[in-house]
């Protein structure tokens, strides 16, 4: 069992870059989640304390419901992203072990499966973010329903961007 540290580093280097990318993606997810949870808590607290008109209460309930869904979806995305990162770390460890214990079918199999699953779960987490984002334009337009002078201009701008 003879190996050089440089061999281990060469084996784990490329996979380590995937892990750094996964962690950057996770920090993006966490930032989105934290912002949604903070806004959700503010709205719920405001709803509990405020005396509102019926229309204001309905608008607040709609926004709270949308944010609750967003928080749930982002929580799933973060969990999936974390599992993905762990699988990619297993891949890096497997690459190092493969240099130390060459030709081990178990190490090769575990590392291969963990890399494919890890990358696949990054796609799943990104899909959850896309799913969450699909409703954003409708939510933005919904917020402006009670402000007709802005609603028309915002709709025109949205049409221009989409066009």
pLDDT of residue 155: 56
Angle of the 54-100 helix axis to the 136-143 helix axis, nearest 10: 160
Q: Could you tell me if residue 82 is inside a domain?
A: yes
Residue 87 lies in a domain: yes
Arithmetic mean of pLDDT over the chain: 82
Give the separation between CA 1 and CA 19, rounded to whole angstroms.
28
Is residue 140 domain-resident?
Answer: no
Please give the angle made by the CA atoms of 107, 108 and 110, to the nearest 5 degrees: 65
Residue 78: CB atoms within 10 A of its CB come to: 17
Range of the domain at 115: 5-135
145 located within any domain: no
User: Is 143 within a domain?
Assistant: no
Number of folded domains that form the chain: 1
pLDDT at 3 over 90: no
Q: pLDDT > 70: what percent of the chain? A: 79
Please, which residues have CB within 8 angstroms of residue 104's CB and are 6 or more apart in sequence? Answer: 97, 98
pLDDT computed for residue 107 by the predictor: 93
Q: Which two tokens stand for residue 105?
A: 């079918």
Q: Confirm whether 150 is domain-assigned.
A: no
């Amino acid at each position: 069992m003879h190996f050089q540290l440089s061999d281990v580093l060469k084996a784990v280097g490329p996979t380590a870059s995937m892990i750094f990318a996964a962690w950057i993606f996770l920090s993006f997810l966490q930032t989105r989640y934290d912002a949604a949870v903070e806004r959700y808590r503010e709205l719920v607290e405001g709803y509990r304390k405020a005396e509102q008109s019926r229309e204001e209460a309905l608008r607040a309930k709609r926004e709270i419901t949308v944010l609750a869904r967003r928080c749930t979806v982002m929580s799933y995305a973060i969990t999936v992203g974390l599992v993905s990162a762990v699988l990619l770390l297993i891949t890096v460890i497997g690459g190092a072990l493969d240099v130390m214990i060459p030709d081990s079918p178990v190490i090769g199999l575990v590392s291969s499966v963990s890399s494919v699953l890890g990358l696949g779960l990054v796609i799943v987490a990104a899909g959850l973010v896309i799913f969450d984002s699909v409703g954003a334009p409708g939510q933005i337009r919904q917020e402006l329903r009670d402000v007709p002078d802005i609603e028309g201009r915002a709709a025109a701008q949205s049409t221009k961007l989409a066009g």
